[in-house]
Structure 1
Amino acid sequence: MSSLSKGGAVSSAGLLISLGIIYGDIGTSPLYVMKAILGDAIISRELVYGGISCVFWTLTLQTTVKYVLLTLQADNNGEGGIFSLYTLIRRRAAWLVVPAMIGGAALLADGIITPPISVSSAIEGLSILDPAIPTVPIVLAVITFLFLMQSFGTEIVGKAFGPVMLLWFTMLGSLGAVSVVHHPEILQALNPFYAYNLLWHYPKGFWLLGAVFLCTTGAEALYSDLGHCGRPNIRVSWAFVKLALLLNYLGQGAWLMTQEGNRLQENPFYSIMPDWFLLSGITIATVAAIIASQALVTGSYTLISEAIRLNLWPKVKLVYPTDQKGQLYVPSINWLLWLGCVGVVLYFRESEHMEAAYGLAINMAMLATTILLSYYLYIRSKSRVLVFAFLAVYLAIELSFLVANLNKFMHGGWVTLLICALLLTIMYTWLSAYHIKRTLTEYVRLKSYLPALQELSADESIPKYATHLVFMTSAPNPREIESKIIYSIFQKRPKRADIYWFIHVDITDEPYTAEYKVKKILEGDVIRIDFKLGFRVEQRINLFFRKVVEELVEKGEVDITSRYYSLSKQHLIGDFRFVVLEKFLSYENELPIAQRLIMQWYFSIKQFTSSESKWFGLDTSAVKVEKVPLVIKPAKLPQLKRVMT
């Protein structure tokens, strides 16, 4: 196992992959942050120094202290992200699912706005060379290429992007340092006094926090991609990344001071480049902007896989492109993000317009993380005073950012909030439907039906359904079984088999658990297998079951030879058949409006998700899917009166 998967020692490969996967978003912020802070205002020392001071302290307090030093500590066996954080504390406070859902939906919404603004900001640099170049088609082509690459896996993507991002950050730091040499006084901007002066004394200075916030929007990706890169690699690489970012911001500030008294006419990011380097700089920036989209895209895959485990998202197909632990690809989310990105580009068309929509959703995600992290620290810290101090400080910081970002609402912020609301609706619907179904699942004592199962197995008057009949069961107690399975075996169509197998899958909070237990409920007739699988383990139940059966045969614990006389003489293996019971909403329901809408939405969404058999990785040629009506509240029938003729 590599250091990446274990989150162990720092390695050069791990550092390179970290640069390629997680720093794209925060790493390309110099493309637009200073431009957004200045806007149409007259360039002044107060504005430039104050803006850089705010950026420096935001990166220090938000990214370095909160995420790199504190939040990365809250890992779930090496896995990160807001849902992993919620997993660590959910058994102590169920209400925390609310901020977890809000934060998860906000992060997914941010993944839709990040690629358009990053790529557009870089591609628009071409207008310096030729204002007539149409940038929108190029942006759409670049974004499409990025999402097409995702199926190859983040390990391959990281190895390809890592060297490019190393070049990018080296370029940022070098260009910034050269510019700072010509105006070394800009280093004074690191003094927090300038940030205070901008926010409290500069006209409408407080509202500039909405633009300042753009410098830290990629901080959540540091945590979300913890499982891809490992904590030590992230912390060491962040020191290099932060230095490069600060040098570039300072360099832009140094150039801006040469323009004092004027209004900004061009992007200061490109203005600090020598003329001979401009074309190369635009090219590198364009490639880096492609990579900028990677951080939240890979983070989105992690979010969805964990949301599925927490019953907050439909069971969609998950793909593991490589053998590297932590590598994950979710096709449906990949193309959902792509569609959203295309829509954002076509609606806003220019990065300047996108800036208004950017940051509001991720601000909500950061607030949710603060609440969850505070509770995590509260139950583990010896000093409750420090925990409350942390909560107070970061609520004050992030609520200030939120108020400033709300100023963007009518200028485009509503777009990301609308996307966030739609995603939150899906999560709420799925979780509510899960609880409604769970209350209606009826379990019966399996012991009561063992004699009947034994008699059915021996009843030769009934045609044999299969030699080995396998049911997936949700009953956590091995002594119980769903009543619908009993109904399927005895009544829907009597299913005679030599051996009845019941398989239960328990998804654990640990990411890579792979264990099983075998319980012989009735020797030679009824066997139950309980799998305990981590939430990052691919559910290939068909292969797992086959392996378990092979081990049982080797140890002489079970005989799977066909019991047909003509076949048993040849020692042929009997056939295996899986039965999967899928529920549908019965028309015989009389529900309150709210529950009826939730269940209707649930089953409408379910049509576009993976079937139970595909989710469990069963061999479809040996699977029988039976539809079972879900009756939540039987409809009241009118009193019928028989009329005699």
Structure 2
Amino acid sequence: MLPGTWRLVGILLATLAAIIASQALITGSYTLVDEAIGLKFLPRMVIRHPSNIKNQIYIATVNWMLCIITISVVWFFGSSQKMEAAYGLAITITMLMTTVLLHEFLKKHLAKGTALIIALFFGFIELIFLISSLVKFIHGGYVTLTIMLGILYIMWLWYFGNKRREHYEKESEYVSLLDYRDQLSKLSADNTVPLFTTNLVYMTKIKGDYQIKRSTMYSILDRQPKRAKVYWFVTVNETNAPYESNYTVDLLETHNVVNVQFYLGFRKSQSVSVYLHQVVNHLVEQGILEPQIPTYSTERQRKVGDFKFVIIKEQPADLIANDKLSSLDRRLIGGRIYLQKITASPISWYGLEFSNVIEESSPLFITQDQDQYLIQKKIYHRGRLSKTEK
């Protein structure tokens, strides 16, 4: 106990230490989550950059989760004395993880034997602390373990859900956009099909060899064909420059199938609708696209028509029908889809809150294998058997 004359000083020092420690915890959590998203251990979240330094970030979801967990833990324990067991176990586990990371770092810069000796030295000391902390497990240490297992479960579900989905995903789930440009051009000029919209936009990632998910083409062609004057396939790429803002356009040797690649800095808002209107205006002014003068408009001399944005969401309904999937794989892939639903929405991510957006559900696997056990038994013609069956 501090003497009464030093109590105020002790309170000030403890408060200052708590502020510094909490700030380190918060900023460290942001960094770890950002790295985990990049490594595909966690689903995508909305990340804000308060400064021009890319590593200075703010993640509202993480901030609120820390707030809720902190308040819940304080309410659950009720006093700092009861929190000692949980706190001690958390610190010890953090120390052990730091030693593991240190060992991985030293292996790349020192001899493996030297790195192992250093890791064993610190690990032995920390193991003693861990054993002593386990004695208090039933007094509150289980709270730390519960939180840790919850986070690990989410990471495991997302990472291995992606891996198992990629394992079952056939090469035919990706198609070349070049193979469909003739069909798209023909559909655009087919007056027998009602006009769906002037500009039909798909937010999708197109690889360097024009590979695109089959579900995108399935949405345009196989479902009720969507006729548009121009088909836009838009990819947003984040760059390291804070305010970079440029784009490339590839018309694929057509006049109505356009691949747009946006390159936006990490501090630049991803207002795709606003940017795309500018792109169309530029292309019309350059004579690359025909003017899209609407019949009715509040703007005079408007040259850009209407837009419809299509967001494709995968549904786990066909997981049950796929016999090749094991029970564990169904849970992993289904859990991964559920996590994607409750995290950042593509509509808010791309700034489409006030745009005409259509959300479509798509099966995970467009191409289905035939059931080899399904056989034709009889064919009836107006209630009678065919001649071959009499």
Give the TM-score normalised by structure 1. 0.50
Residue 562 of structure 1 pairs with residue 296 of structure 2: no
Instruction: Give the partner amino acid of 2:270.
Output: R
Quote the offset at 1:367 in angstroms: 3.5
Instruction: Give the partner amino acid of 2:186.
Output: E
1:625 alignment counterpart: 359
2:145 alignment counterpart: 417
Once residues 456 and 285 of structure 1 are traced to their aligned partners in structure 2, the CA distance between those partners, rounded to angstroms, is 70
Deviation digits for residues 590-610 of structure 1 (CA, Å, limit 9, x no counterpart): 432211222333344344222
In the alignment, which of 81, 88, 98 is matched to residue 352 of structure 1?
81
Instruction: Give the partner amino acid of 1:420.
Output: M
Deviation digits for residues 93-129 of structure 1 (CA, Å, limit 9, x no counterpart): xxxxxxxxxxxxxxxxxxxxxxxxxxxxxxxxxxxxx
In the alignment, which of 188, 196, 201 is matched to residue 470 of structure 1?
201
For structure 1, which runs of at least 5 residues remain unmatched after alignment? 1-265
The question of whether the paired residues in 2 share the 8 Å contact of 1:563 and 1:574 is answered with: yes
Once residues 528 and 312 of structure 1 are traced to their aligned partners in structure 2, the CA distance between those partners, rounded to angstroms, is 30
SS of the aligned residue for 1:414 comes to helix
Once residues 555 and 388 of structure 1 are traced to their aligned partners in structure 2, the CA distance between those partners, rounded to angstroms, is 66
What does 1:213-362 align with in structure 2 at a 5 Å threshold? Answer: 266=1, 271=2, 273=3, 275-279=4-8, 281-282=10-11, 285-286=14-15, 288-290=17-19, 292-320=21-49, 325-362=54-91
SS of the aligned residue for 2:333 comes to helix
Quote the offset at 1:539 in angstroms: 6.4
Change (3 A) 1:382 1:577: same
The share of aligned pairs that are identical, in percent, is 35
2:258 alignment counterpart: 527
Quote the offset at 1:340 in angstroms: 1.7
In the alignment, which of 491, 495, 501 is matched to residue 232 of structure 2?
501
Once residues 133 and 212 of structure 2 are traced to their aligned partners in structure 1, the CA distance between those partners, rounded to angstroms, is 52
Change (3 A) 1:317 1:566: closer
Quote the offset at 1:628 in angstroms: 0.6
**Greater share of strand:** 2
Instruction: Give the partner amino acid of 1:425.
Output: Y
Quote the offset at 1:585 in angstroms: 0.7
Deviation digits for residues 271-316 of structure 1 (CA, Å, limit 9, x no counterpart): 1x5x345246435634653553222123222322332232222333
Matched residues, number? 371
1:578 alignment counterpart: 309
Deviation digits for residues 434-484 of structure 1 (CA, Å, limit 9, x no counterpart): 223334261112222111111112223323222222212234234222111
Once residues 459 and 554 of structure 1 are traced to their aligned partners in structure 2, the CA distance between those partners, rounded to angstroms, is 22
1:540 alignment counterpart: 270
Change (3 A) 1:612 1:496: same
SS of the aligned residue for 1:628 comes to strand
1:428 alignment counterpart: 156
Once residues 531 and 547 of structure 1 are traced to their aligned partners in structure 2, the CA distance between those partners, rounded to angstroms, is 13
What does 1:126-275 align with in structure 2 at a 5 Å threshold? Answer: 266=1, 271=2, 273=3, 275=4
The question of whether the paired residues in 2 share the 8 Å contact of 1:467 and 1:563 is answered with: no
Residue 597 of structure 1 pairs with residue 327 of structure 2: no
2:388 alignment counterpart: none
Quote the offset at 1:492 in angstroms: 1.3
Change (3 A) 1:521 1:368: farther
The question of whether the paired residues in 2 share the 8 Å contact of 1:309 and 1:507 is answered with: no
Change (3 A) 1:642 1:308: farther
Once residues 513 and 634 of structure 1 are traced to their aligned partners in structure 2, the CA distance between those partners, rounded to angstroms, is 48
Quote the offset at 1:334 in angstroms: 2.4
2:184 alignment counterpart: 453
Instruction: Give the partner amino acid of 2:257.
Output: V
For structure 2, which runs of at least 5 residues remain unmatched after alignment? 384-390
Change (3 A) 1:402 1:589: same
User: Comparing both chains, which one has the higher relative contact order based on Cα–Cα distances under 8 Å and sequence gaps of 6 or more?
Assistant: 1
Once residues 156 and 346 of structure 2 are traced to their aligned partners in structure 1, the CA distance between those partners, rounded to angstroms, is 21
Once residues 432 and 344 of structure 1 are traced to their aligned partners in structure 2, the CA distance between those partners, rounded to angstroms, is 30
Instruction: Give the partner amino acid of 1:542.
Output: V
1:119 alignment counterpart: none
Change (3 A) 1:348 1:463: same
2:218 alignment counterpart: 487
Query: CA RMSD for the aligned pairs?
Result: 3.7
Change (3 A) 1:517 1:621: closer
What does 1:103-114 align with in structure 2 at a 5 Å threshold? Answer: none
Once residues 404 and 451 of structure 1 are traced to their aligned partners in structure 2, the CA distance between those partners, rounded to angstroms, is 71
SS of the aligned residue for 1:358 comes to helix
Change (3 A) 1:478 1:619: farther
Change (3 A) 1:431 1:574: same
Change (3 A) 1:533 1:639: farther
Once residues 326 and 370 of structure 2 are traced to their aligned partners in structure 1, the CA distance between those partners, rounded to angstroms, is 11
The question of whether the paired residues in 2 share the 8 Å contact of 1:504 and 1:530 is answered with: yes
Quote the offset at 1:518 in angstroms: 3.3
The question of whether the paired residues in 1 share the 8 Å contact of 2:281 and 2:304 is answered with: no
Instruction: Give the partner amino acid of 2:143.
Output: V
SS of the aligned residue for 1:357 comes to helix
Deviation digits for residues 19-71 of structure 1 (CA, Å, limit 9, x no counterpart): xxxxxxxxxxxxxxxxxxxxxxxxxxxxxxxxxxxxxxxxxxxxxxxxxxxxx
The question of whether the paired residues in 1 share the 8 Å contact of 2:277 and 2:304 is answered with: no
What does 1:27-46 align with in structure 2 at a 5 Å threshold? Answer: none
Deviation digits for residues 163-202 of structure 1 (CA, Å, limit 9, x no counterpart): xxxxxxxxxxxxxxxxxxxxxxxxxxxxxxxxxxxxxxxx
Once residues 370 and 28 of structure 2 are traced to their aligned partners in structure 1, the CA distance between those partners, rounded to angstroms, is 45
Once residues 407 and 544 of structure 1 are traced to their aligned partners in structure 2, the CA distance between those partners, rounded to angstroms, is 60
Once residues 9 and 91 of structure 2 are traced to their aligned partners in structure 1, the CA distance between those partners, rounded to angstroms, is 32
Once residues 353 and 318 of structure 1 are traced to their aligned partners in structure 2, the CA distance between those partners, rounded to angstroms, is 35
Once residues 284 and 190 of structure 2 are traced to their aligned partners in structure 1, the CA distance between those partners, rounded to angstroms, is 29
Quote the offset at 1:541 in angstroms: 5.0
Once residues 372 and 560 of structure 1 are traced to their aligned partners in structure 2, the CA distance between those partners, rounded to angstroms, is 58
SS of the aligned residue for 1:356 comes to helix
Give the TM-score normalised by structure 2. 0.79
**Greater share of helix:** 1
Deviation digits for residues 336-375 of structure 1 (CA, Å, limit 9, x no counterpart): 2222222222222221221111143344344344434443
